[in-house]
Structure 1
Amino acid sequence: MSGSRAEAEQKGGSRQRLQVNEYKENQNIADISLRPVQTTVLGKIAKVYLVPFSLSNYKTGQLKRPKSLLDKNSNNEVTCKKSKKAEVKKSCRKILTPKMEATSSKEESTLQKSSLDVHAESSKWQYKSPSDTVVLSPDTESSQEGDSDEDTTPGLDDFSELSPYERKRLKNISENANFFASLQLSESAARLREMIKKRQPPESKRKKPKKKENGTGCRRSMRLLKVDPSGVPLPAAPTQTILEVDENPLIPPGPLEMTPENRDDDNELFKGFLQTWAEMSKTRSKNTEKELSSIKSYKANLNGMVISEDTVCKVTKGSVSSMAIHPSEMRTLVAAGAKSGQVGLWDLTHQPKEDGVYLFQPHSQPVSCLYFSPASPAHLLSLSYDGTLRCGDFSRAVFEEVYRDERRSFSSFDFLTEDASTLIVGHWDGSMSLVDRRTPGTSCERLIKSSLSKIRTVHVHPVHRQYFITAGLRDVHIYDARCLNPSRNQPLISLTEHTKSIASAYFSPLTGNRVVTTCADCKLRIFDSSCMSSKIPLRTTIRHNTITGRWLTRFQAVWDPKQEDCVIVGSMAHPRRVEIFHETGKWVHSFLGGECLASVCSINAMHPTRYILAGGNSSGRVHVFMN
């Protein structure tokens, strides 16, 4: 039996791969295999320690000769494959070296001899330990582990003794290697690296062209070079201190003397001008009960109103922002407020017409509201964005200060009483002020907050003067002056039919039974305010172009003080005109002037008793239609 075992071991020794496993006793089968435990020690010499075991419990005939060590160890190879896969791949490279082949052949021969000695002396020793320890060098371990995974090691002469699994594995490895070789991945990777590699352009140092000293250069201004035409340098100009001047300096508080800006002399002529205005105020006709004329007679009177070159004159230097006509029936006196803060007075009876124009500067910012006092037409009250309200007294030739608040900007005002002693002033920030003029120097002002974020116009009811109407951004509110308090006030009536910005809102002049509003949605709306309830109905909507742009003053539709059922408004239509509409929405009349009216009259005013219409444009020119 020992001879047959030696032959089997010699056949196994002809191959390079040998696995040393743990000795393990298996009593379920007749054969007993030797499976030494593999342990790696960093050393150069491979030593094998063998411990004999007893075969006294087994009969000699029961032992069978194994086919080969490789056949016995194939099962253990599959078990240990997963745990040692990482080490096997590293050791595969070491197997291919000639040095390792020589070392592995010597170790295999040593192991074969040891195994023969073990079988020869097995009957003399008793079994002491279930496992034996095998210490191998790193080269030996690498060669053995590499053979378990890589079977393409050079020097394998006999492949017929390999198991079917090993032959199939070798075939797969060979096919995979040939497939990857056919793909030529290394060559493709090299080509890609060359393509991706950025090619830096060669640095080319551009030589700057040399300046030609004697060459002809570009022409330069001798003024900028500070050289006169003969080539002689000019002397240095003396340095001057430049003072920053405010374009719109505030007018100092207190009364201002009426000093015309467009006249330097002729004081006697100016005194005669002021005397004329004062006398016309004394001889004014008192207000009496008026009856509305029929539309037919009203149209006939409007048709008689014409314009000429003598009734067109430039009154202010800037755009006209407010207009008022003196109530005198003897003379035609027109006042215009400008965006530059100027107030211009024009007496149309003077010839030439330029001699009847006098220009004053009582404010520093736009004059948005201008009224003659109902109690004394010799007083012209003007309100400005600069936070001042002044009264021009023609009898004393002075502009008195009625109300001043530099922290707020004023937008509009109106008289709460017929004697003009109490005023309601609207601010751009949505607040209002009640001003009492009966205490000069210490005017009683009371600041009131409204429910609007901004107030454009303020107008008092002509009959029930406790009511006043305010136009805001999108809403129109009616308040009761008797119920105002310093905190935020709720309106008595709100008109919320508007969809865009509102320019103005005014009561009808005689009865106050109508309200007209001008909105940026190209509509004029007329409301029925005959009954002051929680809501007043919308009576009429008139389609009218109100888009004036940024350079023109916005349209403001106003009532004719003689015919309170008719509205006057400027127009963007060509040829330029001023139109009148009835409260029912019907067109009544258009004032056309031909060459005398070639611009848009945004602000218009009608004489309270006579058929005289004055319209101002954005260049400071006033156009007057009269019969």
Structure 2
Amino acid sequence: MKAFSSKAESLLLGPSLGAYTESIELGPRSTSASVALSVDVGSSEEDSAPDLDEFSGLSPYEKKRMKNIRENANFFASLQLAESAARLRGMIKKSEPPESKRKRPKKKENEIGCRRSMRLLKVDPLGVSLPASPTQPTLVEEENPLLPPGPLEMIPENQGDSSELFKASLKTWAEMSQTSNEKTKKELSSIKGYKANLRGMVISEATVRKVTSGAITSVALHPSEVRTLVAAGAKSGQVGLWDLTQQSEDGMYVFYPHSQPVSCLSFSPTNPAHLLSLSYDGTLRCGDFSSAVFEEVYRNETNSLSSFDFLDDASSLLVGHWDGHLSLVDRRTPGTSYEKFFNSSLEKIRTVHVHPLSRQYFITAGLRDVHVYDARCLKSKGSQPLISLTEHSKSIASAYFSPVTGNRVVTTCADCKLRVFDSSSISSQFPLLSTIRHNTFTGRWLTRFQAVWDPKQEDCFVVGSMAQPRRVEVFHETGKNVHSLWGECLVSVCSLSAVHPTRYILAGGNSSGRLHVFMHQETRVLE
């Protein structure tokens, strides 16, 4: 009986059951289909199934069930669900996006992009290609050619037919002599008189002059008490001399003894008629006013030079290299200077400064550290410092001993701090005396600040400032601000400063080639 029922059920269902199955997969059943499938099984007696002879052996319940199955199958067949499902599949397939990826158009060869300069494309306005221009030399060869070795004649670049006037100026400069520091030592006792003299220093239009064509990278003041002569080294390799005693344009002369920035300038302590200049191009020259020649003191074409200072009686020089090396140069040897090459423990050397009393000691400012060395203990490899100052967290611009006793050291760091150390005892570590908050972030286009001591009051130092209005700050070693030098004629940042050893004169250089000179008035205020 069960086998026969299963056979009959399969015969009745046929394709209509398949259509019903597809309708179930496509979506929910319709209301009419649900009603047809929910026929009450209890009413099977009144619904006898005629024409079901093939099911004569079934019970009334089975007959009623088979009748319902056949009616449902016929109903779903009348709905034509299979055809509707086929049409929906066709619609779905047609609406699907193509699986192939978007192809980028191929770039045509020699295609000229939009908004391109025809001059840069080497095309004239008519569209015809221009002939190829001759190859240009490299920028270093064109703008910074290495000057030939040997002496260079001292010929001013900015003076035309005034050779006689220049010769007269050279003669005057050669006859100027340096005075003793006895007067200076007496004035170191009172800070009150020092402040009063600073208040008398003024700047005017007559004491502001553009001396070089590029940024000033070094400044020096002649120690004469008769005339005011300022020297400025420039980024372009120029050296400018400005004699403020001559109240005219004729008092300023520009020379080209170097091909790269002049990072250090100094008048000789034994012969003020000699102006020594050091440059990145690896040369150290001496401008002799008596012979009108820039003599070549030292030359190193493999290493770039950063700073120098005098040893002993100025016949020997200590030269610092950017790569951390040191050279001892003896100027007394005929011909080329004798050199001893040493290796320091620093990766870079920015400044070199010799102790004013104990000349065998010198201090160097490096990338992060400040080291003190003994010149007698230098080695060709692995020279170790006597003392290391490691309190700095960023790049150091300079480190200098105080000029009279050497009992203090002032450093300028990129972490916006000026630090003063007690260097009275070389045999032990230098204790930190004071830390001064000072904005030293000059940026890319301005020369970095360097704090320098005032020889007239060696417990005070001067440094440029980023504050408005523009000024030059004077600080005491304790960190107190002593005075600010400013005026209507000072409208730019003076990154570097030089102080006269005996007179109240300060010269500041900016990054456009201008010198700003503060000078004391005729009446000096003394103790």
**TM bucket by the smaller chain?**
0.7 to 0.9
Are residues 1:515 and 2:409 paired? yes
Q: Write the distance in 2 (CA, Å) between the matches of 1:454 and 1:327.
A: 31
2:346, 2:366 within 8 Å by CA — same for their partners in 1?
yes
2:461, 2:475 within 8 Å by CA — same for their partners in 1?
yes
Are residues 1:581 and 2:479 paired? no
1:284, 1:329 within 8 Å by CA — same for their partners in 2?
no
Per-residue Cα deviation, 1:451-486 (whole angstroms, up to 9, x for no partner) = 111111111111111111111111111111111101
The 1:470–1:167 alpha-carbon spacing in structure 2 relative to 1, beyond 3 Å, is same
Instruction: Tell me by how many angstroms 1:192 deviates.
Output: 2.4
1:409 maps to what in 2?
A: 304
Q: Write the distance in 1 (CA, Å) between the matches of 2:305 and 2:167.
A: 32
- 1:541 alignment partner AA: T
1:265 maps to what in 2?
A: 161
Q: Write the distance in 1 (CA, Å) between the matches of 2:440 and 2:20.
A: 89
2:516 maps to what in 1?
A: 623
SS of alignment partner, residue 572 of structure 1: coil
The correspondence of residues 65-464 of structure 1 with structure 2, limited to 5 A, is 178-180=20-22, 182-183=24-25, 186-196=86-96, 198=98, 246-281=142-177, 292-352=188-248, 354-417=249-312, 419-464=313-358
Q: Write the distance in 2 (CA, Å) between the matches of 1:402 and 1:160.
A: 123
Rg larger in structure: 1
Q: Write the distance in 2 (CA, Å) between the matches of 1:272 and 1:286.
A: 31
- 1:374 alignment partner AA: P
Are residues 1:614 and 2:456 paired? no
Q: Write the distance in 2 (CA, Å) between the matches of 1:579 and 1:289.
A: 23
SS of alignment partner, residue 457 of structure 2: coil
1:590 maps to what in 2?
A: 484
Per-residue Cα deviation, 1:489-534 (whole angstroms, up to 9, x for no partner) = 2221111111111111101001111110011111110011111234
Instruction: Tell me by how many angstroms 1:311 deviates.
Output: 1.6
Instruction: Tell me by how many angstroms 1:284 deviates.
Output: 7.4
Q: Write the distance in 2 (CA, Å) between the matches of 1:285 and 1:564.
A: 12
Instruction: Tell me by how many angstroms 1:335 deviates.
Output: 0.8
Q: Write the distance in 2 (CA, Å) between the matches of 1:560 and 1:283.
A: 16
Are residues 1:488 and 2:377 paired? no
2:178, 2:223 within 8 Å by CA — same for their partners in 1?
no
- 1:620 alignment partner AA: G
2:350, 2:365 within 8 Å by CA — same for their partners in 1?
yes
Instruction: Tell me by how many angstroms 1:488 deviates.
Output: 2.2
Instruction: Tell me by how many angstroms 1:187 deviates.
Output: 5.0
- 1:191 alignment partner AA: M
2:297, 2:336 within 8 Å by CA — same for their partners in 1?
no
1:320, 1:337 within 8 Å by CA — same for their partners in 2?
yes
Instruction: Tell me by how many angstroms 1:367 deviates.
Output: 0.5
Instruction: Tell me by how many angstroms 1:163 deviates.
Output: 10
Q: Write the distance in 1 (CA, Å) between the matches of 2:418 and 2:2.
A: 112
Q: Write the distance in 2 (CA, Å) between the matches of 1:297 and 1:329.
A: 20
Instruction: Tell me by how many angstroms 1:435 deviates.
Output: 1.0
Q: Write the distance in 1 (CA, Å) between the matches of 2:425 and 2:181.
A: 31
- 1:346 alignment partner AA: W
Q: Write the distance in 2 (CA, Å) between the matches of 1:577 and 1:295.
A: 21
1:508, 1:515 within 8 Å by CA — same for their partners in 2?
yes
- 1:466 alignment partner AA: Q
Are residues 1:535 and 2:429 paired? yes
The 1:338–1:176 alpha-carbon spacing in structure 2 relative to 1, beyond 3 Å, is same
Give 5+ residue unaligned stretches, structure 1: 1-158, 201-223, 227-235
Instruction: Tell me by how many angstroms 1:347 deviates.
Output: 1.1
1:28 maps to what in 2?
A: none
- 1:293 alignment partner AA: S
- 1:345 alignment partner AA: L
Deviates more, 1:279-288 or 1:523-532: 279-288
The 1:496–1:244 alpha-carbon spacing in structure 2 relative to 1, beyond 3 Å, is closer
The 1:477–1:283 alpha-carbon spacing in structure 2 relative to 1, beyond 3 Å, is closer
SS of alignment partner, residue 458 of structure 2: coil
The 1:491–1:263 alpha-carbon spacing in structure 2 relative to 1, beyond 3 Å, is same
Q: Which one has more relative contact order, counting CA pairs under 8 Å at least 6 apart?
A: 2
Instruction: Tell me by how many angstroms 1:189 deviates.
Output: 3.6
The correspondence of residues 9-24 of structure 1 with structure 2, limited to 5 A, is none
Instruction: Tell me by how many angstroms 1:304 deviates.
Output: 1.6
Q: Write the distance in 2 (CA, Å) between the matches of 1:527 and 1:225.
A: 68
Write 1 or 2 for the structure with the bigger share of strand.
2
User: Among the aligned pairs, what percent are the same residue?
Assistant: 70
1:316, 1:359 within 8 Å by CA — same for their partners in 2?
yes
Q: Write the distance in 2 (CA, Å) between the matches of 1:536 and 1:189.
A: 90
Per-residue Cα deviation, 1:166-191 (whole angstroms, up to 9, x for no partner) = 999x9999978843464356555433
SS of alignment partner, residue 564 of structure 1: strand
1:284, 1:328 within 8 Å by CA — same for their partners in 2?
no
- 1:298 alignment partner AA: Y
Are residues 1:474 and 2:374 paired? no
1:307, 1:624 within 8 Å by CA — same for their partners in 2?
yes
Instruction: Tell me by how many angstroms 1:380 deviates.
Output: 0.5
1:229 maps to what in 2?
A: none
Q: Write the distance in 2 (CA, Å) between the matches of 1:199 and 1:529.
A: 79
SS of alignment partner, residue 270 of structure 1: helix
- 1:619 alignment partner AA: S
- 2:502 alignment partner AA: T
Q: Write the distance in 1 (CA, Å) between the matches of 2:417 and 2:407.
A: 20
The 1:508–1:181 alpha-carbon spacing in structure 2 relative to 1, beyond 3 Å, is same
Q: Write the distance in 2 (CA, Å) between the matches of 1:288 and 1:199.
A: 91
Q: How many residues of Structure 1 are paired with residues of Structure 2 in the alignment?
A: 433
Deviates more, 1:280-289 or 1:421-430: 280-289
Instruction: Tell me by how many angstroms 1:558 deviates.
Output: 0.3
